[in-house]
């Protein structure tokens, strides 16, 4: 079925055109989703419940990439959710993609993360910043099943992006890229990646440029899959670039634009990781509630014990506050909003998953139950997409800037 056709023909989307027209009108932040956003939420929730949740534990324990599930998500259009229709996307708004990622992560954190990074860090970048020729080569197939990646981090440049050492040298009509990238999500399965390289390391962030690189290009070598503590069905690996020759036309923007492009894309990506964290937290709350309703201790259900009730209330508050900040960031994208959403959602997910383990007692530690997986999955949301410590500093920077107090 053509990309998005299933979604558009769904009973959930009877008033698709009307909802789309509504969504295109600019509106301030409101907690109410439009009809279109609710339809996407329902679609993702149903898919997650039926196809992700039942397989999440097995995929995690076997560290197996969710190929089949991604194929189905491609046919639903969710691997190009905000991409222009001309390139096979659904042309949705960021909040629709955000609620979809939340629902997918609720069923399987690894799948939610893969979808989040493919959309927010690869497809949206090419869609919004690429030339027509770049979109033809690096976008059309990427809404139809090919997976895209984002290679920014390096062994000595994680949070400190300006320290990137992958070098780009011009050679006539080509650029030659050499260096090593780290932690590239889905690079093992992916077909192309965005690569950030420096044209002059002495220029620090001002010397960065952004390139599109096919992963089967000569000189690209994938490293071994990283053994991960959480999101174990997702993959990340090193990429070695050994004199990789790419045409001039594969550079996005101009030399020196790389830092701005990376930061703008990370503003979006942090909303995706925040949504992923909210989905994990919601799943931990679902698990704890289900268990507490059944388990009897001291002659009553756990839900009747004041300490368990308090924990469930805390979990609910932590999930809801993170969700609100995340939805707000998706409707008003800026560094402060996305940093705040990621900061709160990552920390809250870890706290909610911790409560879930506690409520389940000994079973909370057993791999026969999902609590320990939520606990492991939640932790990474404070690291990838930018560490929590830096999100807080970004909020502080923009807060002081608003008050002319920098
Ligand atoms: C599963 C996974 C998937 C990933 N996927 C990708 C990907 O697809 N593409 C990609 O480019 N990268 C990816 N990353 C890399 C990720 O973005 C980095 O790990 C992250 O940005 C942190 O960089 P680092 O690991 O080098 O830690 P460092 O930068 O060395 O930071 C370590 C710690 O030092 C402290 N710290 C450092 N700098 C500051 C500061 N300025 N202020 C306050 N505290 C600070 C923080 O406590 C921080 O946690 C992935 C990582 C993981 C684990």
Q: Going by C-beta distance under 8 Å and a sequence separation of 6 or more, which residues neighbour residue 103?
A: 41, 44, 45, 47, 48, 279
Using most ligand atoms within 8 A of CB, pick from 151, 153, 162, 231 the residue to mutate for ligand 1: 153
Which residues make beta-bridge pairs with 178? 167
Confidence of residue 29 (pLDDT cuts 50, 70, 90): confident
Q: Please, what is the Cα angle at 226 between 220 and 228, to 5 degrees?
A: 150
> Model-level pTM greater than 0.75?
yes
What is the position in ligand 1's atom list of the atom closest to the CA of 393? Answer: 42
Q: What is the pLDDT of residue 31?
A: 77
**pLDDT digits over 262-288, tens only?**
999 999 999 999 999 999 999 999 999
> Does residue 150's CB lie within 6 angstroms of at least one atom of ligand 1?
yes
CA 343 to ligand 1 center in whole angstroms = 14
Q: What is the pLDDT of residue 83?
A: 98
CA 385 to ligand 1 center in whole angstroms = 7
C-alpha distances out from residue 112 to 90, 156, 295, 308, Å: 18, 28, 30, 29
Residue 354 has pLDDT above 70, yes or no: yes
**pLDDT digits over 226-255, tens only?**
999 999 999 999 999 999 999 999 999 999
In this structure, the residue with its CA closest to atom 39 of ligand 1 is 390
C-alpha distances out from residue 275 to 109, 321, 352, 377, Å: 11, 12, 15, 13
C-alpha distances out from residue 176 to 101, 144, 203, 211, Å: 36, 29, 18, 11
Residue 18 has pLDDT above 90, yes or no: no
Which residues make beta-bridge pairs with 175? 170, 246
User: How far separated are the first and last CA of the chain, in Å rounded?
Assistant: 54
What is the position in ligand 1's atom list of the atom closest to the CA of 160? Answer: 29
Residue 193 has pLDDT above 70, yes or no: yes
Q: 335 near 267, Cβ under 8 Å?
A: yes
In this structure, the residue with its CA closest to atom 44 of ligand 1 is 389
Rounded distance between C-alpha atoms, residue 223 and residue 230, angstroms: 19
CA 263 to ligand 1 center in whole angstroms = 14
Q: Average model confidence (pLDDT) for the chain?
A: 94
**pLDDT digits over 60-113, tens only?**
999 999 999 999 999 999 999 999 999 999 999 999 999 999 999 999 999 999
| % of the chain residues with pLDDT over 70 | 93
What is the position in ligand 1's atom list of the atom closest to the CA of 152? Answer: 11
Comparison of pLDDT for 164 and 21, the residue scoring more: 164
What is the position in ligand 1's atom list of the atom closest to the CA of 157? Answer: 26
Average pLDDT estimate for 129-152: 98
Average pLDDT estimate for 381-405: 98
Residue 7 has pLDDT above 80, yes or no: no
CA 153 to ligand 1 center in whole angstroms = 8
User: Can you tell me which residue has the tokens 């996305």?
Assistant: 338
> Does residue 185's CB lie within 6 angstroms of at least one atom of ligand 1?
yes
In this structure, the residue with its CA closest to atom 40 of ligand 1 is 390
> Does residue 230's CB lie within 6 angstroms of at least one atom of ligand 1?
no
> Does residue 390's CB lie within 6 angstroms of at least one atom of ligand 1?
yes
User: What domains can be seen in the chain, in order of their start residue?
Assistant: 5-143 (1.10.540.10), 148-259 (2.40.110.10), 266-402 (1.20.140.10)
Rounded distance between C-alpha atoms, residue 13 and residue 19, angstroms: 9
CA 28 to ligand 1 center in whole angstroms = 33
Rounded distance between C-alpha atoms, residue 114 and residue 298, angstroms: 43
CA 379 to ligand 1 center in whole angstroms = 13
**pLDDT digits over 286-316, tens only?**
999 999 999 999 999 999 999 999 999 999 9
Rounded distance between C-alpha atoms, residue 361 and residue 370, angstroms: 13
Q: What is the pLDDT of residue 30?
A: 78
Average pLDDT estimate for 46-71: 98
Q: 140 near 79, Cβ under 8 Å?
A: no
């Amino acid at each position: 079925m053509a990309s998005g056709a299933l979604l558009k023909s769904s009973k959930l989307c009877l008033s698709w055109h009307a909802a789309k027209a509504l969504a295109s009108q600019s509106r301030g932040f409101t907690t109410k989703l439009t009809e279109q956003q609710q339809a996407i939420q329902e679609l993702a929730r149903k898919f997650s419940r039926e196809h992700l949740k039942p397989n999440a534990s097995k995929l995690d324990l076997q560290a197996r990439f969710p190929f089949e599930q991604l194929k189905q998500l491609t046919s639903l259009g969710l691997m190009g959710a905000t991409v222009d229709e001309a390139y096979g996307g659904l042309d949705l708004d960021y909040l629709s993609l955000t609620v979809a990622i939340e629902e997918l992560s609720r069923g399987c954190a690894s799948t939610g993360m893969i979808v989040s990074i493919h959309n927010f860090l690869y497809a949206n970048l090419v869609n919004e910043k690429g030339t027509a020729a770049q979109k033809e080569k690096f976008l059309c197939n990427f809404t139809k099943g090919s997976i895209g990646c984002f290679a920014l981090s390096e062994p000595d440049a994680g949070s400190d992006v300006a320290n990137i050492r992958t070098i780009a040298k011009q050679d006539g009509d080509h650029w030659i890229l050499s260096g090593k990238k780290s932690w590239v999500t889905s690079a093992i399965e992916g077909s192309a990646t965005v690569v950030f390289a420096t044209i002059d390391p002495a220029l620090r962030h001002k010397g960065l440029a952004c390139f599109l690189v096919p992963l089967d290009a000569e000189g690209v070598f994938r490293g071994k899959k990283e053994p991960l503590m959480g999101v174990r069905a997702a993959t990340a690996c090193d990429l070695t670039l050994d004199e990789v020759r790419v045409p001039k036309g594969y550079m996005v923007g101009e030399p020196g634009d790389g830092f701005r492009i990376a930061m703008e894309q990370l503003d979006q990506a942090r909303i995706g990781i925040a949504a992923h964290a909210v989905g994990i937290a919601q799943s931990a709350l679902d698990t704890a509630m289900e268990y507490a309703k059944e388990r009897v201790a001291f002659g009553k259900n756990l839900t009747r014990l004041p300490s368990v009730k308090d924990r469930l209330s805390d979990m609910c508050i932590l999930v809801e506050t993170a969700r609100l900040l995340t939805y707000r960031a998706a409707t008003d994208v800026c560094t402060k909003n996305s940093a705040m959403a990621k900061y709160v959602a990552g920390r809250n997910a870890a706290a909610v998953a911790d409560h879930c383990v506690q409520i389940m007692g000994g079973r909370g530690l057993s791999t026969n139950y999902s609590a320990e997986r939520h606990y492991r999955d939640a932790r990474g949301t404070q690291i990838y997409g930018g560490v929590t410590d830096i999100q807080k500093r970004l909020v502080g920077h923009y807060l002081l800037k608003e008050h002319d107090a920098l």
